[in-house]
């Protein structure tokens, strides 16, 4: 008579145990393991690394200006100090809240707009809560496309003026010609470390080191000027990188990266250009943004063109840019061969977002495989970084001397080299 109830007690106790375990698990505090702050041209970001995503609230306070982040049931579990202030953020502080919560406070120099979003775990990265201040950071103004065009028009007007008297020196003569502008993009940055090698090498650190060395080599070349898209540890969106290159009036865009694949035996350098199959979507976007595309055709507005004609013009421009990209990338790949092994005999094509500027020859250089132990050691070596930078510079120089844009100092120097005369003579004759 009591057998049936006795048999029911066992699962009941088991169920109570499961419920107790669930309750204990739910009560376990979330751990805040890291707080990272970056400021760059597109704004400032605070990234909170968390063991789980807690209930949270983000709001602003005035007099003095602050951003407050309240995290429910969260404990500070960092092994380092909170980051120092950057950009509009004067400082970061934290304090416990009633009920086991945690408050993070950003002290601001002025009122800021605030955006917040969560990022789900991805690979080795866990839960992240991002607080974004989209306003411009204190990194100096970037010229707009109209300002660049105005400066170019002024330069053209100066070049058209007659030269009074004989040209005596190369520097004076060459001053009438513009320098080529090479935009150098150090991949990743800020909260995006890129690939990480087994030795702990972060792609974003390697790319910035090589980019700076490449910029120095280009600046030392007569007739060329380097512009770094990223010159610090901050995040820039992929579209933002291409947009900045256009605003700087770049003649070429080079994005520097360090590849990573599951097969750790793969090594060597690679050079990529845009695949035309991945180009049409970006051309369509430019077509839709007529105002932004007004100067895309070297000053020819698309506003008065019908969709078909505008689309054809954009398509021609982009195909020419890709064709020039291939030629330049071939020269860079040939130069990299002299530094070490390359992964594949030819330039590769892919739909990288950062390469989709419709009118600028662009390439992405995978300097080595950070996932390969030997390549990783080389990437950490400053001397090897210098060799890679010099190889990329040599390839760019070879391309532009072979195909110099008219009206540039390189065009005059290349003409003098081919004609056996001096650059001074060539320029004086123009």
Average pLDDT, the chain: 77
pLDDT of residue 420: 59
My answer on whether 242 and 107 are in the same domain is no
Q: How many of the other CB atoms lie within 10 Å of CB of 96?
A: 12
Residues 6+ apart with CB under 8 A from 427: 167, 170, 173, 174, 176, 177, 412
pLDDT of residue 243: 86
Closest CA to 199 of 384, 377, 385: 377
Q: Are 298 and 290 in contact (CB under 8 A)?
A: no
**Does 310 or 418 have the greater pLDDT score?**
418
Q: Taking each helix axis from N to C terminus, what angle separates 145-160 and 238-247, rounded to the nearest 10 degrees?
A: 30
User: Beta strands of 187-288 (E only): which ranges?
Assistant: 224-228, 252-259, 270-274
Last residue of a domain, one of 113, 133, 153: 133
- Domain residues for the domain of 311 are 179-406
CATH number at residue 226: 3.40.630.40
Q: What is the mean pLDDT of residues 209-223?
A: 96
Domain count, the chain: 2
Per-residue model confidence as pLDDT tens digits over 377-398: 999 999 999 999 999 999 999 9
Quote the CA–CA distance of 208 and 228 in Å, as a whole number.
9
pLDDT of residue 268: 92
My answer on whether 203 and 123 are in the same domain is no
Quote the CA–CA distance of 77 and 33 in Å, as a whole number.
5
My answer on whether 114 and 228 are in the same domain is no
Per-residue model confidence as pLDDT tens digits over 293-307: 333 433 444 454 555
My answer on whether 98 and 197 are in the same domain is no
pLDDT of residue 307: 53
My answer on whether 129 and 188 are in the same domain is no
Quote the CA–CA distance of 237 and 67 in Å, as a whole number.
23
Quote the CA–CA distance of 114 and 132 in Å, as a whole number.
6
- Residue 351 belongs to a domain: yes
Q: What is the mean pLDDT of residues 332-356?
A: 87
pLDDT of residue 409: 94
pLDDT of residue 124: 66
pLDDT of residue 300: 43
What would the two tokens of residue 407 be?
């009206």
Quote the CA–CA distance of 75 and 71 in Å, as a whole number.
9
> Which pLDDT band holds residue 13 (cuts at 50, 70, 90)?
very low
Q: Are 56 and 77 in contact (CB under 8 A)?
A: no
Per-residue model confidence as pLDDT tens digits over 274-283: 887 654 444 4
Quote the CA–CA distance of 192 and 205 in Å, as a whole number.
11
Q: In Å, how far are 150, 224, 250, 325 from 245, measured between CA atoms? A: 16, 15, 5, 15
Q: What is the mean pLDDT of residues 8-36?
A: 61
Closest CA to 58 of 126, 121, 133: 133
- Residue 107 belongs to a domain: yes
- Residue 423 belongs to a domain: no
pLDDT of residue 402: 94
Closest CA to 288 of 310, 312, 304, 313: 310
pLDDT of residue 315: 58
My answer on whether 192 and 116 are in the same domain is no
Min mean pLDDT across 7-21, 133-147, 283-297 is at 283-297
pLDDT at residue 422 above 80?
no
Per-residue model confidence as pLDDT tens digits over 161-211: 443 333 333 333 444 789 999 999 999 998 889 899 999 999 999 999 999
Percent of the chain whose predicted confidence (pLDDT) is above 90: 42
């Amino acid at each position: 008579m009591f057998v049936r109830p006795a048999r029911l007690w066992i699962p009941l106790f088991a169920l109570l145990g499961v419920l107790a375990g669930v309750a204990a698990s739910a009560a376990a505090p979330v751990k805040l393991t890291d707080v990272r702050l970056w400021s760059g041209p597109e704004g400032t970001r605070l990234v909170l690394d968390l063991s789980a995503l807690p209930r949270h609230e983000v709001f602003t306070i005035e007099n003095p200006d602050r951003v407050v982040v309240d995290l429910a049931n969260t404990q500070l579990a960092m092994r380092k100090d909170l980051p120092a202030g950057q950009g509009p953020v004067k400082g970061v502080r934290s304090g416990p809240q009633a009920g086991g919560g945690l408050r993070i406070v950003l002290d601001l120099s002025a009122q800021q707009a605030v955006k917040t979003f969560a990022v789900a775990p991805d690979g080795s990265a866990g839960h992240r809560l991002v607080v974004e201040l989209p306003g411009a950071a204190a990194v100096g103004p970037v010229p707009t496309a109209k300002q660049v065009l105005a400066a170019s028009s002024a330069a053209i007007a100066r070049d058209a003026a007659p030269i009074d008297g004989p040209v005596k020196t190369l520097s004076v003569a060459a001053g009438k010609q513009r320098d080529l502008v090479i935009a150098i993009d150090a991949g990743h940055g800020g909260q995006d470390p890129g690939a990480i090698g087994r030795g702990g090498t972060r792609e974003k650190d390697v790319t910035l080191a090589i980019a700076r060395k490449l910029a120095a080599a280009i600046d030392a070349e007569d007739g060329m000027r380097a512009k770094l898209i990223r010159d610090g540890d901050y995040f820039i969106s992929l579209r933002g990188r291409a947009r900045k290159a256009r605003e700087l009036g770049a003649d070429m865009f080079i994005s520097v990266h360090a590849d990573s694949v599951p097969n750790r035996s793969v090594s060597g350098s690679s050079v990529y250009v845009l695949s035309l199959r991945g180009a049409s979507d970006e051309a369509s976007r430019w077509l839709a943004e007529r105002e932004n595309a007004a100067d895309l055709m070297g000053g020819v507005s698309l506003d008065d063109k019908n969709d078909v004609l505008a689309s054809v013009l954009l398509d021609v421009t982009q195909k020419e840019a890709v064709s020039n990209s291939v030629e330049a990338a071939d020269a860079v790949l040939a130069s990299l061969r002299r530094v070490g092994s390359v992964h594949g005999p030819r330039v590769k094509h892919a739909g990288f977002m950062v390469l989709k500027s419709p009118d600028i020859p662009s390439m992405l250089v995978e300097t080595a495989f950070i996932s390969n132990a030997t390549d990783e050691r080389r990437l950490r070596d400053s001397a090897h970084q210098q060799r890679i930078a010099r190889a990329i510079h040599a390839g760019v120089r070879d391309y532009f001397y072979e195909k110099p844009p008219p009206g540039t100092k390189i065009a005059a120097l290349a003409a003098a080299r081919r004609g056996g005369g001096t650059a001074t003579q060539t320029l004086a004759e123009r």
